[in-house]
Amino acid sequence: MIGVVLRIWTAVLVAMSAAPAFADEAAPPGPAVTNAVLPHDLSPWSMFLTANHIVKVVMIGLAIASILTWTVWFAKATELFALKRRLYRALARLDAVGLLAEAHGPDLAGTAAQLVEAALDELNRDPTASPEGIKERAGSRLERIEASAARAMSRGIGLLATIGATAPFVGLFGTVWGIMDSFIGISKAQTTNLAVVAPGIAEALLATALGLVAAIPAVVIYNMFARQTAGCRALVGDASAAVLRLVSRELDRDACAPKLRAAAE
């Protein structure tokens, strides 16, 4: 993309340097043309106000994409930070208790609470079921809860990937359109004076700059969230394994209880 922009800019400079020579050969002698004065204000805001309507739409879209990127970053970072803290507390509690019912409580919330509730429901639903069947059904429900938690963690991150992949090309489209408009202006003005060419080229390149401003943070934030969500998914998997261990422990204890009573008698 950068190579395309450089080739376009090189073509513009070549046209600017070559056009005066041809104009001097073809034009009859006449009064000297007064040199145009470069505009004093070439700030980004001024270039946006004077840009072509299509280029303005591109710039506004890229600005909205950048705002969305930082909004997703703030919301998702807060969500993942809170989720990680809850999972660490849940893992510490699951490793400390000996029975699944002891782990269940009002301070256990979120995905860990769903895992414990699903396991307790399978344990109490059919007391006559075989231990192998209970473990299989409990494991199946825990896997679905893990998958649901993974989808919730990834919600909104796909938008960052879309912005990071498309924003540079949207900015390049604005640049190409702006340069086309600049060439049209050169043709109408019948001059390649820098005062005529420079503002349009600057406005066109501003679109590419905004595309990069929107895309680079989106890619960096997307990669950061990809690592964080992978860590959170691993914690959810650890919590699920801890719940399954408690289920297995309770089933073994219930199976051994009659034997222990018979031995005591």
pLDDT of 191 reads: 66
Spell out the domain ranges in the chain. 45-264
Q: Please, are residues 145 and 111 in contact by the beta-carbon 8 Å criterion?
A: yes
**Residue that wins the pLDDT comparison between 193 and 111:** 111
Alpha-carbon torsion, ordered 172, 174, 180, 183, to 10 deg? -100
pLDDT (0 to 100) of residue 230: 92
92-144 pLDDT, tens per residue? 888 888 777 777 766 677 888 888 888 888 888 877 777 788 888 888 899 99
Instruction: Give the pLDDT mean for 84-99.
Output: 85
pLDDT at 11: 53
In this prediction, residue 7 carries a pLDDT of 58
Q: Which long-range contacts (CB under 8 A, 24 or more apart) does 233-239 make?
A: 233/146, 233/149, 233/150, 233/153, 235/84, 235/87, 235/88, 235/91, 236/87, 236/111, 236/146, 236/149, 236/150, 237/146, 238/87, 238/91, 239/87, 239/90, 239/91, 239/94, 239/111, 239/112, 239/115
pLDDT value at position 65?
A: 93
DSSP string, 1-61: -HHHHHHHHHHHHHHHHHHHHHHHHHSPP-SPPPPPPPPS---HHHHHHHS-HHHHHHHHH
Range from 6-15, 40-49, 150-159 carrying the lowest mean pLDDT: 6-15
Question: Please, what is the Cα angle at 59 between 57 and 65, to 5 degrees?
Answer: 105
pLDDT for the residue numbered 233 = 92
Highest mean pLDDT of the ranges 37-46, 138-147, 183-192: 138-147
Average pLDDT over residues 25-31: 40
Average pLDDT of 239-251? Answer: 86
* Tens-place pLDDT, residues 210-236: 999 999 999 999 999 999 999 999 999
- Mean of pLDDT over the chain: 77
What is the structure's pLDDT at 215? 94
Q: How confident is the model at residue 72 (pLDDT cuts 50, 70, 90)?
A: very high
Residue 174 has a pLDDT of: 87
Give the model's pLDDT for residue 73: 94
pTM passes above 0.85:
no
